[in-house]
Amino acid sequence: MPPRAGVEASVIACALMLGLTVSAQAQMGEMKTFRDWIAGCDNTRNCTALSLPRETDDEVAFLRLDRAAGPDSAPTLALKLRTQKLKPRFDIELVLDGAAFPATGRRLPATSINGEVAEIVIAPAEAEALIAAARKATVLTARVDARSFTISLAGSVASMLWIDERQGRLNTPTALIRKGTAGTAPSAPALPVIASKPASGQALASIQAAALVKAMRTELNRREPNSCEEISDGSDGAFPLDDSTRLVVVACSRGAYNVNSQFWLVTGRDVAKAKPAAFEGSGNSPANELVNADFDPETGQVSFYAKGRGIGDCGASGSYGWNGTRFVMLGFIAMSECRLIPGDDWITLFRSVGTAAN
């Protein structure tokens, strides 16, 4: 399914950088849409499948299936609601293509987090029954008092089959869809351990930092005229990564809800020899550009959050750590479909174990 109109091309490119190598230790996971479902797996083959709400829905309900790699991991299935005026405790009724689910008609107990968000974890036996029923069923309806939430199952089987394939479960007893009687899913790859260093060296006075940013902006426009706009939004900065190397951050373009910043490595004050601080797997051009990014000198980490559109239901978010030589990816989540999925349910495509470098 193509991205919806109004989504910034650079952000969607960032969210769709499938299969890009992000370090020597691991590779970026991938993500794929199957009609009204989307699935993705990270670099350790931990996988997630989500149903996609309709764009016209005022109140959002979706299913989330998670499964880690490995022969002994079991899937978890949850129903999530994003609406208003939920009671602290309530019951939810499920209907599968017009028939009660579970077949007994038992209601599931639910708890609202803040009156607007609820997550109902479906018990393993019922989750297995729902996965099996999805082969033929088309719609799951959730009813709360007088309100009904519709969840399409179109694409659910294909997304789970794709996960089975990525995790090496096809034709084994632990497969979600295409089960077999023999074989074992392979173990999960180890999480990469990535060390990041805090910024060191003598901090720059504000007037020195401002002068270095100004010089860098002038240099960029010398290299390519009008390539970097004059933006004053507080995201510019200059930081000493060590005794000789400075990280210079220059905001160069702004949209309605995104600011694109470039990151440069400068020795001393010599901006003429500045080198791009490339972010592997960023999906952007140039590779030293991130959206809504922030550098934390205390951790040596850069975080970013690129919105695909104003309500923040698609795009990408992640972080990089300075290892003394370059910035290395620490984590990455994305959502390529603008279908009302909130940021805390975006799909993880890369994760690591962060440590402090010596």
Q: What is the pLDDT of residues 17-39, one digit of tens each?
A: 433 333 333 478 999 999 999 99
Q: Give 281's pLDDT tier (boundaries 50, 70, 90).
A: low
- pLDDT value for 283: 53
- Round to whole Å and give the CA distance between 32 and 163: 10
Which structural domains are found in the chain, ordered by start? 31-166 (2.60.40.1880), 193-356 (no CATH)
- pLDDT value for 304: 94
| Percent over 70 (pLDDT), the chain | 90
Tokens of 54: 């309709």
| 138 contacts 97 by C-beta, under 8 angstroms | yes
| 145 contacts 90 by C-beta, under 8 angstroms | yes
Q: Which residues 6+ apart lie within 8 Å of 35 measured at CB?
A: 1, 152, 154, 155, 158
What one-character DSSP code corresponds to residue 70?
Answer: S
Query: For the residues 28-54, what does the mean pLDDT come to?
Result: 96
- Round to whole Å and give the CA distance between 282 and 202: 30
Q: Is residue 69 pLDDT above 70, yes or no?
A: yes
| Whole-structure pTM value | 0.90
Q: CA distances (Å), 164 to each of 66, 71, 178, 233, in order?
A: 12, 12, 8, 46
| 323 contacts 196 by C-beta, under 8 angstroms | yes
Q: Give 287's pLDDT tier (boundaries 50, 70, 90).
A: confident
- pLDDT value for 171: 96
Q: What is the pLDDT of residues 221-244, one digit of tens each?
A: 999 998 898 887 778 999 999 999
Q: What is the pLDDT of residues 289-338, one digit of tens each?
A: 999 999 999 999 999 999 999 999 999 999 999 999 999 999 999 999 99
Tokens of 155: 């694409």
Q: Give 285's pLDDT tier (boundaries 50, 70, 90).
A: low
Q: Is residue 71 pLDDT above 60, yes or no?
A: yes
Q: What is the pLDDT of residues 144-156, one digit of tens each?
A: 988 999 999 999 9
Q: How far is CA 48 from the centre of its chain?
A: 11
| Percent over 90 (pLDDT), the chain | 77
- Round to whole Å and give the CA distance between 65 and 158: 13
Q: Give 215's pLDDT tier (boundaries 50, 70, 90).
A: very high
Query: For the residues 68-88, what does the mean pLDDT come to?
Result: 94
Query: For the residues 263-274, what does the mean pLDDT come to?
Result: 96
Q: Which residues 6+ apart lie within 8 Å of 21 measured at CB?
A: 27, 28, 280, 281
| 20 contacts 327 by C-beta, under 8 angstroms | no
Give the three-class secondary structure for 147: strand
Q: Give 356's pLDDT tier (boundaries 50, 70, 90).
A: low
- pLDDT value for 103: 85
Mean of pLDDT over the chain: 89
Tokens of 215: 């010089």
Query: Which of 2-11, 157-166, 268-277 is least confident?
Result: 2-11
Q: Give 49's pLDDT tier (boundaries 50, 70, 90).
A: very high
Alpha helices, DSSP H only, in 54-155? Answer: 124-133
What one-character DSSP code corresponds to residue 279?
Answer: B
* Residue listed under structure tokens 């978010």: 317
- pLDDT value for 234: 75
